[in-house]
Structure 1
Amino acid sequence: QLTLNGQPVGPVEVPDDLAMIDYLHEHQNLTGSRLGCGQGICHACVVIVDHPDGTSEEVRTCITGAHYFEGKTVRTIEGHAQVDEAGNLTLNPIQQKFVDLFAFQCSYCAPGFVNAATVLVESAQRQPLKQSEVEQHIETSLGHHICRCTGYVRYYEATRTVLNDLGLVKEG
């Protein structure tokens, strides 16, 4: 039982050894989280776990069992964009800036990068970043994600732009 993209799910029985990525793909038809390395190295599979205190973190779903998420609030890449009553889609600021700046090539890694940048932006909304520390925060947040197309410069640029556009960077 968990909250998935704002909706309660379960309780549902799943095998003890079921990886969360398999649960998302096979039981929830949410295929945006990508299975890359299967060893927790590339981070293409990450989802966001939201904590009751308002903080959030990335969790790799290829190496984390579905049972770990029991009672947790989880956001997948599919949970970021909003659809209004007329069916119009509005991307979150990170997604939109990634599109605007053509930040991805094949896009296989994009869900992981979007989730990582989203966690960073939300953290900065609680505690704005010092200008002198922005690059280090971006590197810490996105640096462990692997992009085989080497789109890092554009991912970093898009994240930096969103932080600045939202006024989340202060002098210092």
Structure 2
Amino acid sequence: MSIKTKPMTLTINNKPYGPIDVPEGLMMIDFLHEYVYLTGSRLGCGQGICHACVAIVDNPSGTSEEVRTCITGAHFFNGKKVRTVEGHAKVDEQGEVVELSPIQQSFLDHYSFQCGYCTPGFVNAATIFVEKLKREPIAREDLEGAISSALENHICRCTGYVRYYEAVRDVVLKTPGLLKEAVK
């Protein structure tokens, strides 16, 4: 008996892949790890609860969303533009990191993680949050609740929540245009 496959084509971190014959029931986390060797997304709970596995799907409308790769089949991503944690930093010709994204750097500066297992999911969630604020700035008084909403689905087993929140707040406060100017 052979495994049924279907061709799939997608873009991951601005690099086109496919068409690749992919088993019909393969989860995206397995595709990322086994087919394109991007292992930054983590298989945590395997049930879509912890969000360590999330990847970003960039929609044609200019918005982005988190998709849990441990419970979403690879073929859902057919034709889509996807970002993983490996796609945030700037790299040189040899693939060496030359500059971290503001979120990644802030997480390091704030020692936001202990074991780091959940960090890729938090990086992706925070990245989407900051990108959303670039399109739709919010009032300063709404910032704490907005950070909580952006990160609330992510589980950190090492109790790193406070530092993740502080790191995201720091990026928002240091990035012009993400907060609405106060009305005088």
Q: Does 1:102 align with 2:111?
A: yes
2:179 alignment partner in structure 1: 169
Question: Deviation at 1:170?
Answer: 2.3
2:46 aligns to what?
A: 38
Residue in 1 that maps onto 2:63: 55
Where do 1:125-140 residues align within 5 Å? 125-140=134-149
Matched, 1:143 2:152: yes
**Stretches (4+) displaced over 4 A:** 85-88
User: For residues 149 and 113 of structure 2, what CA distance do their matches in structure 1 show?
Assistant: 19
Instruction: Decide which of 25, 35, 38 is 2:33's aligned counterpart.
Output: 25
TM-superposed CA distance for 1:127, in Å, is 1.1
CA distances 1:124-158 after superposition (whole Å, capped 9, x unpaired): 01111211211111111101100000100000000
Residues 1:15 and 2:23 are matched in the alignment: yes
Matches of 1:131 and 1:171, distance apart in 2: 8
Give me the whole-angstrom Cα distance separating, in 2, the residues matched to 1:154 and 1:169. Answer: 21
TM-score by structure 1 length? 0.97
Instruction: Give the number of the structure with larger relative contact order, counting CA–CA contacts within 8 Å between residues 6 or more apart.
Output: 1
The structure with the largest strand share of the pair is: 2
- Structure 1 residues without counterparts, runs of 5 or longer: none
Q: Given residue 140 of structure 1, which amino acid in structure 2 is its aligned partner?
A: S
Are the aligned partners of 2:118 and 2:155 in contact in 1 as well (CA < 8 Å)? yes
Q: What amino acid is aligned across from residue 61 of structure 2 in structure 1?
A: D
CA distance in 1, matches of 2:76, 2:57: 11
Aligned length: 172
TM-score in terms of structure 2 length: 0.90
What is the DSSP-based 3-state SS (H/G/I as helix, E as strand, rest coil) of the residue aligned with 2:82? strand
Shift in Å, 1:85: 4.2
Report the Cα distance in structure 2 between the residues aligned to 1:10 and 1:144, rounded to whole angstroms: 32
CA distance in structure 2 between the aligned counterparts of 1:46 and 1:129, rounded to whole angstroms: 25
Give how far 1:171 is off: 4.2
Once the two structures are TM-superposed, the CA of residue 84 in structure 1 deviates from its matched residue by 2.9
Q: Equivalents in 2 of 1:162, 1:88: separation in Å?
A: 20
